Amino acid sequence: LSAGPYADPNDIRNAFTVAMSAMYRNEVPLYGDLVRIVRSINEHVIEQRSKSQSATESANYAASERLDLERHGAIRLGTPYELRTVRRLFAVIGLKPVGYYDLSVAGLPMHATCFRPVDGVALAKNPFRVFTTLLRPELLRDEEARNLAASLLDRREIFSPELLELLDAAEQNDNRLNPQQAEKFVTEAMKTFSWRPVASASESEYRKLVSEHPILADIASFKSSHINHLTPRTLDITASQKQMSVEGLKVKDRIEGPPARKCPILLRQTSFLALEERIKFRNSEGSLVEGTHRARFGEIEERGAAVTTKGRKLYDQLLVAAMDKYRTVSATSKATTMDQILADVFQAYPDDWSELRKQDLVYCTYHLTQKPRPDTLPLNASLESLVSHGFLTAKPITYEDFLPFSAAGIFQSNLKPGSEGESIQKQANMPDQEGLERALGCPLLSADDLYLRAQTQSIEQCAMGSGWDVR
C-alpha cells in the first residue's frame, strides 16, 4: 500500500456520510421523505430568522453551513472486538468516543458511547456522530439466550478483509489514508453497516432471542451491524413533527427532551415507528423461509445549547420532578399531560441567553466585536458586562451529544409501539463505564471537558486580541 500524500480526514468523513445517506435512503425510502421534510422546514426557518432582527443571537448558532450534512446514526454492536474495530474505523474519519450512556436505566441490556468529532474546525465542517451501543451479556437473565447470542456473535465477522487491511495501514500512518485508500475504505465500511436481510440465526434461534429481549435479536441475528437510523437535524422540530403526521408517517406521539423554549438547550428528538421489514431465515434443509423483523426507524432532532454541569444538574432535576408528577396523575391523554407538566416544571429553567450565562448554565464561545475599545479594561468588568456593552458577543455552543433518558424513550417506543409511558419508568441502574472502556480499548472522553475547553480557548483569544485580562 502506498504512502501519502494523505486525504484530509474531514473529506473522508464527508464522503463517508454522503455514502451512508445514499445507502440508507435506498434501504429505507422513508428516510428520504424525512430528509426532504426537514430540509424544507429548515429553509423556511432560516428565511424567517433572517427577516426578524431580534433573533440574531440564536439564529447565528443554529443556521450554520454544516446543517445540510448534519446527521447522527445509531449502531448496535455485539462484542468487544466489534466495538474496538469500530473505534479504529471511526478514527479514520476523525470520530472519537465521547461520553458514557447507561441504558440499563431503560431496562436494556446495553451501554453506549457517542463517536463524534471533537475539535471546533472538524465540528464546523461536518459533525457526523454515531450513537454506538454494546451488548452487556451479563445483564441477560436467561443463560440459554446468553449462550446462543454469544455463539452467533462469535461466528460472525462484520468487517471485510479489505477493510481490516486498510485499518492496519491507516494505523501505521497516524490514522491517515491516501485518497485511493480512502475511497476503498468508504466502500468497504458501508458493507459493515448495510442491511443484510438473510439472518445468520435460524428462525427458532431468532425467536429464542426475541423472547429474551427484542433488541437481542436485532443485535445478534444478522451478518452485519446494520445502521439502525440516520437522523437529520431540524431547526424546528414541532413544525417537522407536524409535517411528518400530515404526510402520514406514524410519528411517535411526543417529543423527547426539554420542552419547547425561546432559548433551546440540549436536544429534542422524535421518531417514526420501526418498520416491519422482510427478512429470510435458512431452515435446516438449507432453503430460505420468509420472516419479518422490526427494528429500524426514522428520527429527527433539534439541537440547542450545551449546558454546563450546573445546567445539566438543573435539567436532570426538573426532568425527574416532571416524571414524578406525571406518575401521580392518571390521565387519559398521557402524551399531552406529560408535555404540560414538563412545560410547567421547566418554568424554573431560565429562558434568556444573558440569564443563562450569568447563572453559568450554558457554555458559550466569546468573540471580540468591531466596537472601538479603550486600552484598558473597564474597572470590574465582567465577561457579561463586556457582552452587554457590545465589546464581546457570546455564541451558545451547540450540544453535540445525546441524552440517556431520551435515548431510552426512543428505544422503547420503537420496541413496542404505543409504550410511550414506559420509557420514563426507571428500571435498573447499573452503569459500568470501566467495562465499556475495557471493551473499547481506550478511555472515553468527557463531553464537559470538550465544551469547557472550547469556551476557555475563546476567552483566551479575546484576551489576546484585546490585551484585556478578560476571564
By CB under 6 A, name the binding residues for ligand OOG: 74, 76, 131, 133, 228, 269, 402, 406-407, 410-411
Angle between helices 203-212 and 143-155 (to 10 degrees): 130
- Whether the ω angle into residue 396 lies within 30 degrees of 0, i.e. cis, is no
Which of 42/414 has CB closer to ligand OOG? 414
CB of 207 to Ni ion, least distance (A): 27
402 binds, among ligand OOG, Ni ion, none (CB under 5 to 8 A by kind): ligand OOG
Q: Which stretch binds Ni ion (CB under 5 A): 229-237, 280-288, 318-326, 426-434?
A: 229-237
Query: What, of ligand OOG, Ni ion, none, does residue 220 touch, CB below 5 to 8 Å by kind?
Result: none
Residue of minimal CB distance from ligand OOG? 407
Q: Shortest distance, CB of residue 349 to ligand OOG, whole angstroms?
A: 21
Measured from the CB of residue 407, what is the shortest distance to ligand OOG in angstroms?
3
Contact partner, 406, from Ni ion, ligand OOG, none, Cβ < 5-8 Å per class: ligand OOG
Pick one of ligand OOG, Ni ion, none as the site partner of residue 221 (Cβ within 5 to 8 A by kind).
none
* Residue 357 C-beta: closest distance to ligand OOG, Å: 27
- CB closer to ligand OOG, 405 vs 468: 405
The secondary structure element, H or E, covering residue 471 is none
**Assign residue 263 a region: left if phi > 0, alpha if psi is -120 to 50, beta otherwise?**
beta
- Cα(191)–Cα(344) distance, rounded to whole angstroms? 47
Instruction: Pick what 133 binds: Ni ion, ligand OOG, none; C-beta below 5 to 8 Å, kind-dependent.
Output: ligand OOG
Are the CB atoms for 297 and 228 separated by under 8 Å?
yes
Cα–Cα distance, 140 to 51 (Å, whole number)? 55
Backbone torsions φ then ψ of 113, nearest 5 degrees = -140, 170
Phi, psi of 28 (to 5 degrees): -130, 85
Give the Cα separation of 305 and 265 in Å (integer).
Answer: 4
**Partner whose binding site includes residue 192, from Ni ion, ligand OOG, none (CB under 5 to 8 Å by kind):** none
Write down the least CB distance from residue 297 to Ni ion, Å. Answer: 9
259/298 with CB nearer Ni ion = 298
Residue 411 touches which of ligand OOG, Ni ion, none (CB < 5 to 8 A by kind)?
Answer: ligand OOG
To Ni ion, the closest distance from the beta carbon of 96 in angstroms equals: 19
Q: For the chain, first and last CA: distance in Å?
A: 50
Q: Estimate the crossing angle of helix 433-440 against helix 80-92, to 10 degrees.
A: 70
Residues 60-79 that bind Ni ion (CB under 5 A): 74
CA distance 395 to 382: 16
Name residue, grid cell 472550547: 454
**To the nearest whole angstrom, how small is the minimum distance from the Cβ of residue 227 to ligand OOG?**
9
Interacting partner of 206 out of Ni ion, ligand OOG, none (Cβ under 5 to 8 A depending on kind): none
CB-neighbour burial class of residue 443 (10 A; exposed 0-12, middle 13-18, buried 19+): exposed
Site string for Ni ion, 280-299 (x = CB under 5 A): -------------------x
Distance from C-alpha of 106 to C-alpha of 301, rounded to nearest angstrom: 20
Quick one: 85 or 406, whose CB is closer to ligand OOG? 406
**Beta carbon of residue 408, minimum distance to Ni ion (angstroms, whole number):** 12
> Which residues have a Cβ under 8 Å from the Cβ of 130 and sit 6 or more positions away?
72, 73, 74, 75, 90, 95, 114, 115, 116
Phi-psi category of 296—alpha, beta or left, where left has phi over 0 and alpha has psi -120 to 50? beta
Q: For 371, which DSSP code?
A: S
**What is the closest distance, in whole angstroms, from the C-beta atom of residue 286 to ligand OOG in the complex?**
32
- Closer to ligand OOG at the Cβ: 218 or 236? 218
Number of residues this chain uses to bind Ni ion (CB under 5 A): 3
Euclidean distance between CA atoms 119 and 441, whole angstroms = 22
d(CA 272, CA 451): 31
Indicate which of Ni ion, ligand OOG, none lies near residue 31 (CB less than 5 to 8 Å, by partner kind).
Answer: none
Binding site for Ni ion (CB under 5 A): 74, 231, 299
